[in-house]
C-alpha cells in the first residue's frame, strides 16, 4: 500500500499516508459518522483506549487514542479494519486514522 505507514519499515509520514473520508469503504464512512455523533456503536470494544504499541501513530500520552471497528462484510468477528482517533473528546477528535490490516499500517483520514 503506497503512502501508508507500515510496522516494518516506514515511519509515520502524515504528508503521504492519507485517505479522504469519501474514499473509505462505506462501512468506514459509517463508523466515522458514528464517531462524530458520539455513537451508539455496535461493538462493546468501540471507543476503548488504543495503546499505539506499534508506534506508527504520532506519540501521545496513554488514553489519547481510541479505536473503533469498521465492519468487514462476511467476517465472523470484528475483522481487521479499524478507525483510531485521537483527542481530548472522542466526538471531536484532533485526528483519525484508518487501518485495513489490523494496525500494520495507517492512513490519516482527511476531508
Q: Is residue 67 annotated as a catalytic residue, yes or no? A: yes
Q: Is-contact 13 57, C-beta < 8 A?
A: no
How far is 5 from 17, CA to CA, in rounded Å?
A: 6
Catalytic residue among 6, 43, 67, 71: 67
Q: Is residue 43 annotated as a catalytic residue, yes or no? A: no
Q: Which residues contact 26 (CB under 8 A, 6 or more apart)?
A: none
| Catalytic (active-site) positions | 67, 102
Amino acid at each position: 500500500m503506497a503512502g501508508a505507514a507500515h510496522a516494518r519499515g516506514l515511519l509515520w509520514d502524515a504528508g503521504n499516508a492519507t485517505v479522504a473520508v469519501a474514499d473509505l469503504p462505506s462501512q468506514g464512512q459509517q463508523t466515522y459518522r458514528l464517531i462524530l455523533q458520539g455513537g451508539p456503536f455496535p461493538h462493546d470494544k468501540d471507543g476503548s483506549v488504543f495503546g499505539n504499541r506499534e508506534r506508527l501513530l504520532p506519540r501521545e500520552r496513554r488514553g489519547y487514542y481510541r479505536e473503533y471497528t469498521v465492519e468487514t462484510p462476511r467476517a465472523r468477528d470484528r475483522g481487521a479494519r479499524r478507525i483510531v482517533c485521537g483527542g481530548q473528546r472522542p466526538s471531536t477528535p484532533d485526528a483519525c486514522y484508518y487501518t485495513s490490516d489490523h494496525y500494520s499500517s495507517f492512513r490519516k483520514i482527511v476531508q
